[in-house]
Every structure is written in C-alpha cells, then in structure tokens.
Amino acid sequence: LQPGAGKSELLNSDDVSSYQQTLNKENSAQDSAAKQTFDQTLINLFPKNPLQAMTEENMLQIITFAIFIGVGIIMVGSKAQMVHKFLEQTNEVLMYIVTMIMSVFAPIGTFALVAHAFTGAGFGAIQQLGMYFFIVLLALVIHFFVVYGTAVKVMGRTSPLKFYKEFIPAITLGFS
C-alpha cells in the first residue's frame, strides 16, 4: 500500500530538524553516561544540591533524595507527621493541577502543534499521514478479527463472537 509514498515537506521542516538536533545531543549525553565507571555511577546517585538536581531534571538524584526523605520520615515516626501530611497535601494539589492541565490544555496544545506542522508541510503531509493512519487501523482490524478470532476458536475452543462481546469493555478502555 506504501502509505509514505510521495514527497512532502513535513520531514524537511525546521521543527523536525531542530528535534533531530535535540535527539542527537541526548544520544551523545547517553553515550557519555554509559561510559561511566561503577564508582562514578555510585557517586552520581547522591545530589550535591537537591534543588539543583530538580532544576536539571536529574531523575536518579531526585529519586535518591526522595528515598532518603521517605526513610527519614519513617524513622522519625509521629514527630514527622506534619511533614508527612504537608507532602501528602502538596501531592494532592499537584495531581489535581496536572489532571486539569492534561484534560483541558493538552488536547488544545496537541491540536496546535499538529496544525502548525501541517500548515508548514502542506496538504501532501496530511494525505500521507491520513493514509498511514488508515493502514494502521486496517491492520488492527485484521489482527483483531483474524488473529484473535482464530486463536480463540482454535486454542480457546470457544465462539469468537462470544469472545468479542466480552472483550469490548476492555478494548474500549485500551483504545480510549
């Protein structure tokens, strides 16, 4: 079916090239991190400054710091109840904010990014991505009915229609 056949300017856009440069920098940083010795890795587990580790998004140091904070709260016991309650309430507030942002602003942001990419790339890119989307859906439908249907009939020795009927809630949740 060749869904990517044809030529569009989507892959030649400035956004794609800047993203590729970012990926190249991340790959080189990962390569240098992979060459660390074991003792360097152990030393890098512990942050010199926890706030700096958070601003630099150094997840390994943040996790190590969080573990020490958690162990400290557990060891102190009831004396740290206010700290524990503060952290729980902070977590509740932040999770509410993240949920609100993800449900309200993420779809708008995604639409804006896709619209920006398409306006720069033209109708050819929309046509190619639409064809790709159609082929993926076609492959999923074939897989669902042919592969699952055959497996249920042969290995499960049950009716594929009964399987589909009971499988609909799970697949709907997964698809959504």
Average pLDDT over residues 76-94: 93
pLDDT for position 11: 62
pLDDT at 126 over 80: no
Q: For 48-148, where are the alpha helices, taking DSSP H only? A: 50-55, 59-76, 81-100, 106-121, 123-142
pTM for the whole thing? 0.45
**Which of the four pLDDT bands, split at 50, 70 and 90, describes residue 88?**
very high
1 closest CA partner among 117, 122, 130: 130
**Cα–Cα distance measured from residue 113 to residue 109, given in angstroms and rounded to the nearest whole number:** 6
pLDDT at 75 over 90: yes
